[in-house]
A and B are shown apart, each in its own frame.
Chain A
Amino acid sequence: MTDVLALSQERTQLFHDLIDGRVPKRVPISAAFAHEFAIQYAGRDLTEAQWDTDALEPIFEKTCQDFYSDLLPVSAFRLPSFYKILGSRNFVMGSNGFIQHPEVEGLALEDYDAFIASPFDCIVERVLPKLYSNLDTDSTTKSMVMAKAFKAYTDEMANLGRIYGNLIQKSGYGYVNFYSGFCEAPFDIISDQLRGFKNISIDVRRVPDKVEAAAEAATPLMIKMGTPPNPSPYNATFIPLHMAPYLRGKDFERLYWPSFKKTVEGLKANGMRSFLFVENDWMRFIDYLAELPEGTIMCFEYGDPKLVKEKLGKKHIIGGFYPVSLLKTGTKQQCIDKAKELIDVLAPGGGYYFSFDKVIITLDSANVENTKAVLDYVAENTNY
């Protein structure tokens, strides 16, 4: 057996132990960098390189070589080709070349009823033309635009799939994928893509019945979207959570939680565990999180690691909490001390993997030397 294959098996084992509820040999590490970071780190121009996914392999490889991780640390979600073809309004490029999600209204207030009656039809007929300006045209042109965009999308994803496979093999990463499916909490998709942050905040007070019915109606769609063709107990469906911390408790309880819980349970019934990015601070809702199916993976941004360990540590898999902002502003020693502090709280008894509190999206988001030092520290000092 080659060294790199043995390494891959060892790393796979770390994550299988984590997922199966055994204490692994060492704290497993999942570092996460966006493709924008990898492009800039390789010294390439983001505005140019993100158009050519064929050429991304050596660019991603540089990040793989220099930053320790047990799983493939680079992934790409938002690429300009298909968004440009669509004339996207919900994913647009900033002056730095970084594609972002601005506030957008895809669903008009008066279209709630159409959405509740048939979410898929409503998205196709009413929402997409508002989100994608090049679909706001006659049906022949629209079909061509959609076909071109899908072709671009599948080409890009095929390229990325090939590159991911090559890099996993070359670098000996574990065969566990936390991004094997993707969906959102029903309330979040209604907020982020359909109504917008501002509108939903107003809807929650003016038309709560409609919001509740819309979240309910979106649930089967989210379960379907989040179920990959080949579910595996060692892979997960990524669900980046968004709106809960901005809601009052009673609104969360009625409008956010029931459909979200159903989504996670529905994925579980389909053979998929959920990997939640728990954005912002969910400590108000920690007892709700405790109700989610056993083995749900949760990467926390902010909150109290001690409380999370105490309430969720025996049932769920926990990661995150390590502040990317500290990597940006701290000294190397401060950064390492922080890792040690978190590991002391979260690692005992297993059920924990090391990750930063969010994906590192661009080169100027973190100090590179600090980032390397922290990952190396964890890899070398956290044997159980």
Chain B
Amino acid sequence: MLDLNALTQAVGDLDETAVVQILEAFVAENPSGEEAYSVVNACQQGMAIVGELFEKNEYFVGDLIFAGELLNQAIDILKPVISGDNSKKIGTIVLGTVKGDLHDIGKNIFASMVDAAGFEVHDLGIDVPPGDFVEKVREIKPQIIGMSGVLTLALDSMKATVDALTAAGLRNDIKIIIGGNPVTEEACKQIGADAFTTNAAEGVKQCQGWVK
């Protein structure tokens, strides 16, 4: 069995060569499904280190994107030894870039980080009308909605989405977090969201707090 701490550290260091080497050697030993899960878990803990370093301004957005890529690569290597999907999910999140806005880099970073943190993520994509959020919430009953936007006009769409969820009688059953360039505390209040962030790692912590 491999050294899980070393793997966690290599993921945290974003040391691609080391991560690939460790995982390929591990898979070659034909491990059990249970062992494979402890390895996935070690990778996820490495992602938590990445989030911490981001919050400390040692990593930046480019590093978060690379971390997402590294995690995908790790899961691809591990796939042959992971039997079925019995990983436990800690909660469900519906995400989207709101109507009128086509920017999705921030949303994608957040999606890969909450995914790594153990959430089931439903990503509705970009330019998502309020009605699509409402429909998805009805269908899968998530605990959390995440709305993203880069343009200032996204604030109006976020408000329209919250209003639509309220009108549909769904607002009280969910927590809403908004993220992206234009969001501020003031905007968060006006929109009627529960939390706001311009920092994906902080947003993940907020979501974890909600499902504890």
Question: Which chain B residue lies CB-closest to A280?
Answer: B181
Q: Would you give 13 A-B contacts (Cβ < 8 Å), ordered by A?
A: A95-B99, A102-B104, A201-B61, A204-B62, A204-B66, A243-B62, A245-B60, A246-B60, A247-B60, A248-B59, A248-B63, A362-B151, A365-B153
CB–CB B187/A205 < 8 A: no
Within the complex, which residue of B61, B103, B153, B190 is in contact with A329, where a contact is CB–CB below 8 Å? Answer: B190
Minimum distance in angstroms from A382 CB to a CB of chain B: 25
Chain A residues with Cβ below 8 Å from B65 are 197-198, 201-202
Contact residues of B between 167 and 182, Cβ < 8 Å to A: 182
Minimum distance in angstroms from B183 CB to a CB of chain A: 8
- A192-226 vs B, CB cutoff 8 Å, 1 = contact: the mask equals 00000110111011100000000000000000000
A interface residues with partner B (beta carbon < 8 Å)? 92, 94-96, 98, 100, 102-103, 197-198, 200-202, 204-206, 243, 245-248, 251, 324-326, 328-330, 361-362, 364-366
Q: Complex formed: what's the CA distance from A204 to B16 in Å?
A: 13
Minimum distance in angstroms from B53 CB to a CB of chain A: 10
**Cβ of B156 < 8 Å from any Cβ of A?**
yes
Chain A residues with Cβ below 8 Å from B62 are 200-201, 204, 243, 246-248, 251
**Cβ of B165 < 8 Å from any Cβ of A?**
no
A-B contact count (CB 8 A): 92
B interface residues with partner A (beta carbon < 8 Å)? 14, 16, 59-63, 65-66, 69, 99-105, 108, 126-127, 129, 151-153, 155-156, 182, 184, 186-187, 190
Give me the 3 closest cross-chain CB pairs, A-B, nearest first. Answer: A246-B61, A201-B65, A201-B62
Q: Complex formed: what's the CA distance from A14 to B69 in Å?
A: 51
Question: Which chain A residue lies CB-closest to B64?
Answer: A201
Mostly helix, strand, loop or mixed at chain A's interface? Answer: helix
Contact A364 to B103, CB < 8 A, known contacts A198-B65, A198-B108, A329-B187: no
Chain B residues with Cβ below 8 Å from A205 are 14, 16, 66
Q: Complex formed: what's the CA distance from A68 to B127 in Å?
A: 33
Q: Complex formed: what's the CA distance from A330 to B187 in Å?
A: 9
Q: Complex formed: what's the CA distance from A95 to B108 in Å?
A: 20
Chain A residues with Cβ below 8 Å from B100 are 94-96, 98
CB–CB B152/A100 < 8 A: no
Minimum distance in angstroms from B133 CB to a CB of chain A: 14
Q: Complex formed: what's the CA distance from A200 to B105 in Å?
A: 12
Q: Complex formed: what's the CA distance from A325 to B59 in Å?
A: 26
Chain B residues with Cβ below 8 Å from A247 are 60, 62
Q: Complex formed: what's the CA distance from A100 to B153 in Å?
A: 13
Chain A residues with Cβ below 8 Å from B60 are 245-248
Known: A201-B66, A362-B153, A364-B152. 16 other contacts (CB 8 A): A94-B102, A96-B99, A103-B105, A201-B61, A201-B69, A202-B65, A202-B66, A205-B66, A247-B60, A248-B63, A325-B182, A326-B186, A328-B152, A328-B187, A329-B186, A362-B152
